[in-house]
């Protein structure tokens, strides 16, 4: 199966919020839930003339890559509306080629509701066929403090030593 | 004008299945899709992006998308239009007319629903009473910013017949100081950066030259996107190779992508500009041909800027002199190069002079009307609403009564507005005559556009006997002072036109198409003006059979019973044909002559008009009145430079606080302080702080960040809290976080322009209260959209 993803040219993400809002409108996600989120690092000074300040639009666990839209041949809502036009959608193989063409890009393959995507627990048939058999055994006759101990304090339990 | 659908250049990210080439209205999956180009409301300084509105068979707007047919926006859309549905069906939107007894002003539970007829009758009787007793000049129409109705002179002139339209920002320190410079120096209205928006081939059009260097002067176009220009064009250009110089006290995001960032002391821009001119002239980097043939007063300018050596400016601005040299050389050697100037240019006492030096720079480097430089509006462009109705509705005698006209003719005659600061005094004192009636044209002055907003509040409530508010929501200003509320149709509910940047320097012309009707909010601004005007002054409005004809006449200058409008509006968005080097072709002046529409026919570096008005015809630097040089004793108490008003993408000025998805992007008013200052004052990131100075105080939430230096504090503007109690004295908390409480009136320049709104002083201290917005409360209050 072809994997699809988002290629994000974060050099030019301006934190305008369009991806966040259009995603909420598209999916009716309420306040507090997001399908994509812009996270930031900066500004902090590298030196006198250079600053690090990058915004990263990152799909969340509620990103379904706009399955309804893409099924109709449209691009995801964030791709369509991004003001800086920095988000591309497509097969990972094609996006990877574009990734190689320019620095400061991210290629991301999100997963919608990953815990749900794993599916419910289904027991696997892994019985090796071994069955318990009737075998006669003898007891040790005494309980001991601990097991697999080899120090000098190990010893059998003498009930008279215990203040029960 | 030939309105034909704009050429489409699809974005590379567009899917194969798209809507390119679709008509203005079509069906898709059981929904009716209306393509439109919005102005307002919600507020936007007309950009006229491309929108697709999806409406179901019950007439409900269910989806909003960006229209990929638009030549500039190409399907992209900002969060405010993406959340349009939440604005249209917001539970706090008011959808029918209201009245309230004037004695109950400020009581949010005393509004009574009335019919449109009752509203019109009440307005008519109060209007006639007040005009009969006090004269039409006793009416003030409060201008706003951005909205279609906000600056629509039709309201004050033809509807009310008053000379007193008034934008209440001190010194009209928004756009107008810049406008004064360009109007009086070049005879044009706005030299916009040429982003190839009007060219069918866009960036690859054969007539276009990619801008090599772009200076952003007190402007962050990405977030001030609604200022008549699609800001992210800048990103398009940068990705093609355009280099940036940023002039801004803050390390805004674009400054981190710039080749040069000049973080000057707020308010010292004019000194910087003079020094750059000095360098360009002394190092012979200017365009001799353009200066020789098309400029007037170059030698006087040379002499003047010789008084501002770069080393002197470096000291004034707090910049290394080398950076000033580097910026001047980079700008002057690039071809083409452009300067985008922002609101910061206006918001100082020498705002007009700051505009002056920027025009000088654009002119002497030969970048005026050059492809990829500064696009100039041609003779046919214009602010077709400014000036409309004055002659026939007001006349000379009444016009002479405009507040401030005698004192500040350069201001009042240019923008056809009463002088803001003098209007405040007139409201307070009743001199030169009493003001009795008010009309909010799309303005929330108590939250946003006024300095000392409580002073304006008191003056309005005391002076005005009858006040009308026109809006989609009850704003603090309306709650405090209005007696009648008229609900306004949003962009989804109206027809009309939208020209980028109002009309000066038009790139695209767009048409609004009505997709839905909601409640009784039937009317657009023009339709409301028609309905009101027909009742108050039928003699002026009988020439139009209906509002549709008025829109056609007013906006398109044609009278074909609306048929022309209906025909051309189907293009949705048209590119306006442009030409370059228009001064060589007789295309800049109304008289068709070559050159510029100035007394000398040239760009007046020595401005005859300023001289005529009694000001210095050459640019000069005014040290900020409040600051280390002029008020050192005050700075002992208020040791920080206060700059205000940087935009956020979530809101248009005071709008959108009740839109849950947008508020979530930016829940609280933010003040930026440097980490060293925070440490010294014991302020932690996210803590609420009290900001105060000799004028007033407010509280905002601290963001500790090196985005500002240790001398500077930046605070946001236009905050109110629609989730709170609207009644007096709280008024939706409009005075609590209002940075304008700290901004004075009355500090404008010689011709009346400018205000120090971005270069004041303040102190700051930690607050013990926590006013954090509870987003769950916002969602509970505004998240559930209303069935209409």
Mean pLDDT of all residues in B254-274: 98
Please list every residue in chain B whose beta carbon sits closer than 8 Å to the beta carbon of residue A72.
Answer: 17
Report yes or no: B30 at the A interface, CB cutoff 8 Å: no
pLDDT at B340: 97
Q: How far apart, in whole angstroms, are the C-alpha atoms of residue B595 and residue B583? A: 4
Mark yes or no for CB contact B65/A80 under 8 Å.
yes
Omega before residue B698 within 30° of 0, cis: no
Please write the tens of the pLDDT for every residue from B644-657: 999 999 999 999 99
Give the H or E element holding residue B249: none
What is the number of other CB atoms lying within 10 angstroms of the CB of residue B730?
Answer: 17
pLDDT of residue A1: 79
Q: Does A45 touch chain B (CB under 8 A)?
A: yes
- β-pair type (B243-247, B260-262): parallel
Q: What percent of chain B has pLDDT over 70?
A: 99
Shortest Cα distance, chain A CAs vs residue B211, angstroms: 18
Nearest CA in chain B to A73: B17
Q: To 10 degrees, the CA torsion angle through B421, B427, B433, B438?
A: 110
b (16+ CB within 10 A) / e for B705-729: bbbbbebbbbbbbbbbbbbbebbee
Residue numbers in B near A76 (CB within 8 A): none
Task: Give the per-residue pLDDT at A152.
Answer: 67
Q: Which of B160-164, B387-391, B778-782 has the lowest mean pLDDT?
A: B387-391
Which chain A positions have a beta carbon within 8 Å of B64's beta carbon?
25
Query: What span, in angstroms and rounded, lies between the C-alpha atoms of B51 and B64?
Result: 7
Closest approach of B245 to chain A, Cα-based (Å): 13
Hey, what CATH topology would domain B632-782 get? Barwin-like endoglucanases (2.40.40)
d(CA B520, CA B500): 29
- CB-nearest to A81 from B82, B256, B664 is B82
Peptide bond preceding B244: is omega within 30 degrees of 0, i.e. cis? no
Q: Could you read off the pLDDT of B581-636 as tens digits, one per residue? A: 999 999 999 999 999 999 999 999 999 999 999 999 999 999 999 999 999 999 99
Would you say residue B705 has pLDDT above 90?
Answer: yes
- Secondary structure class of B100 (helix, strand, coil): coil
Helices and strands, number each (H, E), in chain B: 28, 28
- Pick from B75, B83, B251: which is nearest to A51 by CB? B251
User: Is the predicted pLDDT of residue B530 greater than 70, yes or no?
Assistant: yes
Quickly name the fold that domain B191-376+593-612 has. Dimethylsulfoxide Reductase; domain 2 (3.40.228)
Q: Which fold has domain A4-117?
A: Alpha-Beta Plaits (3.30.70)
Residue with tokens 């060293």: B676
A12, A43, A55: residue with CB nearest B239: A12
If you average pLDDT over residues A57-68, what whole number do you get? 98
| Residue B660: other Cβ atoms inside 10 A | 22
Task: State whether B66 and A52 contact (CB < 8 Å).
Answer: no
Helix (H, G, I), strand (E, B) or coil at B467: strand
Domain B1-89+492-519+556-578 has CATH 3.40.630: no
Residues of chain A with C-beta less than 8 angstroms from the C-beta of B783: 30-31
Q: Taking all residues of chain B, what is their mean pLDDT, rounded to a whole number?
A: 96
Tell me the two tokens of residue A64: 């379904």
| Whole-number Å distance between alpha carbons of B547 and B445 | 28
* In chain B, residues 750-779 whose CB comes closer than 8 Å to chain A: 775-776, 778-779
Q: B785 in contact with A at a CB cutoff of 8 Å? A: no
Among all residues of chain A, which has the CA nearest to that of B86?
A: A25
How far CA B368 is from CA of B333, B337, B375, in Å, comes to 15, 10, 7
Q: Closest chain A residue to B707 measured between Cα atoms?
A: A43
Residues of chain A neighbouring B68 (CB-CB closer than 8 A): 80
Burial B756-782 (b: 16+ CB within 10 A, else e): bbbbbbbbbeebeeeeebebeebbebb
- Pinpoint the residues of chain B covered by CATH 3.30.200: 1-89+492-519+556-578
Chain B residues 58-87 within an 8 A CB cutoff of chain A: 63-66, 68, 74-79, 82-83, 85
Residue B75 with chain A: CB contacts under 8 Å: 80-81
- More confident call, B199 vs B389: B199
Q: Is B781 on the interface with A (CB under 8 A)?
A: no
- Residue ranges of chain B that CATH labels 2.40.40.20: 632-782
- Give the pLDDT confidence score for residue B388 in this predicted structure: 80
Asked whether the predicted pLDDT for residue A161 surpasses 90, the reply is no
Q: Does the pLDDT value for residue B383 go beyond 60? A: no
Closest CA to B466 of B484, B450, B488, B442: B484
pLDDT band for position A148 (50/70/90)? confident
Helix axes of B310-317 and B269-282: crossing angle, nearest 10 degrees: 160
Question: Which of B14, B660, B662 faces A75 most closely, judged by CB atoms?
Answer: B14
DSSP class of residue B584 equals: G
CB B478 within 8 A of CB B440: yes
Range with the lowest mean pLDDT among A2-11, B219-228, B269-278, B494-503? B219-228
The domain locations on chain A are 4-117
* pLDDT higher than 80, residue B247: yes
CA A13 and chain centroid, separation: 23
What number of CA atoms fall less than 13 Å from residue A73's CA on the CB side? 4
Domain with CATH 3.40.228.10 in chain B: 191-376+593-612
Residues in A closer than 8 angstroms to B661, CB to CB, are 20-21, 24-25, 31
CA distance to partner chain B, nearest, from residue A16 (Å) = 6
**Is A43's CB within 8 Å of B239's CB?**
no
A32 touches chain B (CB under 8 A): yes
Which residues in chain A are closer than 8 Å to B222, comparing Cβ atoms?
Answer: 14, 16, 83
The CATH architecture assigned to B98-172+382-488 reads 3-Layer(aba) Sandwich (3.40)
Average the pLDDT over B247-251 and give the result: 97
Q: In 3D, which of B629, B610, B632 has the Cα closest to residue B619? A: B610
Which residues are paired to B85 by β-bridges? none
Average pLDDT on B188-214 reads 96
* CA B91 to chain centroid: 27
Which of A14, A17, A44 has the CB atom closest to B650's CB atom? A17
Whether B138 and B375 have beta carbons less than 8 Å apart is answered as no
Q: What is the residue-averaged pLDDT of chain A?
A: 92
Instruction: Write out the residue limits of the CATH 3.40.50.740 domain(s) in chain B.
Output: 98-172+382-488
Element (H, E) at B471: strand B466-471
- Contact (CB, 8 A) for B625 and B631: yes
Question: Phi-psi region for residue B481, left (φ > 0), alpha (ψ -120 to 50) or beta?
Answer: alpha
Query: Quick one: how far is CA A69 from the chain centroid?
Result: 24
Higher pLDDT, A127 or B234: B234
Helices B269-282, B351-364: axis angle to 10 degrees equals 20
Cis peptide before A53 (omega within 30 of 0): no
Cis previous bond, B666, omega within 30 = no
ipTM: 0.96
User: Residue A85: pLDDT above 80?
Assistant: yes
Close Cβ partners of B504 (under 8 Å, ≥ 6 residues apart)? B188, B189, B190, B377, B381, B382, B383
Closest CA to A25 of B472, B38, B54: B54
Which chain A residues are Cβ-neighbours of B249 within 8 angstroms? none
Instruction: Give the model's pLDDT for residue B384.
Output: 58
Say if CB B264 and CB B348 are below 8 A apart: no
pLDDT (average), residues B145-151: 90
Which two three-digit tokens encode residue B36?
Answer: 């439109």
Region B554-582 average pLDDT: 94
Of the candidates B468, B598, B498, the residue with the CA atom closest to the CA atom of residue B97: B468
Task: Of A134-143, B494-503, B705-714, give the range with the top mean pLDDT.
Answer: B705-714
Interchain pair B17, A74: CB under 8 A:
yes
């Amino acid at each position: 199966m072809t994997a699809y993803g988002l290629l994000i040219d974060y050099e030019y993400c301006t934190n305008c919020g369009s991806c966040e809002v259009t995603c909420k409108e598209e999916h009716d996600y309420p306040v507090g839930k997001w399908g994509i989120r812009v996270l930031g690092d900066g500004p902090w000074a590298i030196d006198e003339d250079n600053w690090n300040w990058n915004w990263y639009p990152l799909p969340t666990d509620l990103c379904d890559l706009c399955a309804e839209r893409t099924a109709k041949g449209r691009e995801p809502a964030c791709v369509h509306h991004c003001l800086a036009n920095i988000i591309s959608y497509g097969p990972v193989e094609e996006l990877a080629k574009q990734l190689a063409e320019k620095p400061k890009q991210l290629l991301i393959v999100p997963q919608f509701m990953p815990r749900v995507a794993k599916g419910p627990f289904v027991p696997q048939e892994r019985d090796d066929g071994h069955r318990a058999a009737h075998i006669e055994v003898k007891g040790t006759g005494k309980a001991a403090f601990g097991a697999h101990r080899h120090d000098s304090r190990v010893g059998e339990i003498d009930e008279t030593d215990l203040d029960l | 004008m030939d309105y034909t659908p704009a050429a489409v250049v699809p974005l590379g990210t567009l899917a194969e299945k798209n809507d390119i080439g679709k008509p203005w209205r079509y069906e898709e999956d059981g929904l009716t899709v209306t393509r439109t180009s919005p102005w307002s409301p919600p507020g936007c300084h007309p950009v006229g992006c491309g929108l697709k509105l999806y409406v179901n068979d019950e007439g409900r707007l269910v989806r909003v998308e960006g229209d990929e047919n638009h030549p500039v926006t190409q399907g992209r859309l900002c969060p405010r239009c993406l959340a349009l549905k939440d604005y249209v069906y917001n539970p706090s939107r008011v959808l029918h007319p209201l009245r309230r007894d004037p004695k109950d002003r400020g009581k949010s539970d005393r509004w009574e629903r009335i019919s449109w007829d009752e509203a019109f009758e009440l307005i008519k009787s109060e209007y006639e009473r007040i005009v009969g007793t006090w004269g039409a000049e006793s009416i003030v129409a409060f201008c706003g910013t951005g909205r279609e109705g906000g600056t629509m002179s039709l309201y004050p002139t033809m509807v009310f017949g008053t000379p007193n339209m008034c934008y209440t920002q001190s010194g009209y320190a928004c756009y107008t100081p810049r406008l004064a410079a360009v109007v009086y120096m070049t005879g044009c209205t706005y030299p916009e950066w040429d982003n190839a928006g009007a060219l069918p081939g866009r960036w690859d059009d054969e007539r276009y030259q990619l801008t090599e260097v772009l200076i952003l002067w007190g402007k962050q176009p990405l977030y001030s996107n609604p200022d008549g220009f699609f800001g992210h064009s800048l990103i398009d250009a940068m990705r093609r190779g355009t280099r940036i110089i940023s002039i801004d006290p803050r390390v805004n995001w674009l400054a981190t992508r710039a080749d040069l960032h000049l973080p000057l002391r707020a308010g010292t821009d004019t000194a910087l500009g003079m020094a750059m001119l000095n360098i360009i002239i002394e190092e012979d980097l200017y365009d001799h041909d353009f200066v020789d043939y098309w400029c007037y007063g170059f030698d006087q300018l040379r002499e003047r800027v010789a008084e501002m050596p770069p080393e002197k400016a470096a000291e004034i601005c707090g910049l290394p002199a080398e950076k000033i040299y580097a910026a001047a050389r980079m700008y002057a050697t690039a071809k083409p190069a452009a300067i985008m100037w922002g609101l910061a240019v206006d918001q100082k006492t020498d705002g007009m002079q700051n505009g002056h030096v920027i025009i000088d720079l654009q002119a002497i480097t030969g970048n005026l009307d050059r492809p990829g430089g500064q696009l100039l509006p041609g003779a046919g462009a214009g602010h077709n609403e400014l000036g409309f109705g004055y002659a026939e509705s007001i006349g000379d005698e009444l016009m002479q009564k405009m507040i401030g006209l005698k004192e500040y003719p350069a201001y009042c005659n240019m923008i056809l507005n009463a002088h803001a600061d003098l209007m405040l005094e007139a409201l307070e004192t009743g001199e030169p005559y009493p003001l009795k009636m008010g009309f909010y044209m799309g303005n929330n002055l108590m939250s946003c556009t006024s300095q000392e907003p409580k002073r304006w509040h008191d003056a309005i409530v005391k002076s005005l006997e009858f006040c009308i508010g026109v809006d989609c929501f009850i704003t603090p200003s309306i709650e405090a002072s209005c007696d009648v509320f008229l609900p306004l149709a949003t962009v989804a509910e109206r027809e009309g036109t939208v020209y980028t940047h109002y009309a000066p320097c038009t790139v695209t012309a767009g048409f609004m198409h009505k997709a839905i009707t909601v409640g009784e909010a039937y009317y657009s601004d023009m339709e409301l003006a028609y309905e009101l005007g027909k009742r108050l002054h039928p003699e002026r409005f009988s020439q139009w059979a209906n509002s549709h004809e008025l829109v056609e006449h007013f906006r398109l200058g044609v009278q074909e019973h609306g048929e022309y409008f209906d025909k051309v509006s189907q293009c949705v968005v048209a590119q306006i044909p442009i030409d370059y080097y228009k001064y060589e072709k007789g295309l800049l002046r109304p008289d068709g002559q070559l050159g510029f529409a100035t007394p000398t026919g040239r760009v007046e570096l020595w401005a005859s008009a300023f001289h005529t008005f009694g000001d210095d015809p050459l640019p000069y630097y005014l040290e900020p009145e409040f600051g280390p040089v002029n008020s050192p004793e005050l700075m002992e108490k208020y040791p920080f430079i206060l700059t205000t008003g940087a935009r956020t993408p979530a809101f248009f000025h005071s709008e959108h606080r009740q839109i849950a998805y947008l508020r979530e992007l930016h829940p609280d008013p933010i003040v930026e302080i440097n980490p060293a200052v925070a440490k010294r004052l014991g302020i932690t990131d996210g803590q609420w702080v009290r900001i105060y100075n000799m004028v007033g105080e407010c509280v905002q939430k601290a963001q500790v960040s090196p985005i500002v230096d240790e001398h500077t504090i930046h605070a946001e503007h236009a905050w109110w809290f629609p989730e709170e109690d609207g009644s007096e004295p709280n008024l939706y908390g409009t005075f609590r976080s209002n940075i304008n409480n700290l901004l004075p009136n009355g500090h404008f320049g010689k011709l009346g322009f400018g205000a120090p709104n971005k270069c004041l002083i303040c102190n700051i201290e930690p607050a013990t209260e926590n006013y954090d917005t509870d987003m769950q409360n916002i969602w509970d209050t505004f998240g559930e959209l209303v069935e209409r």
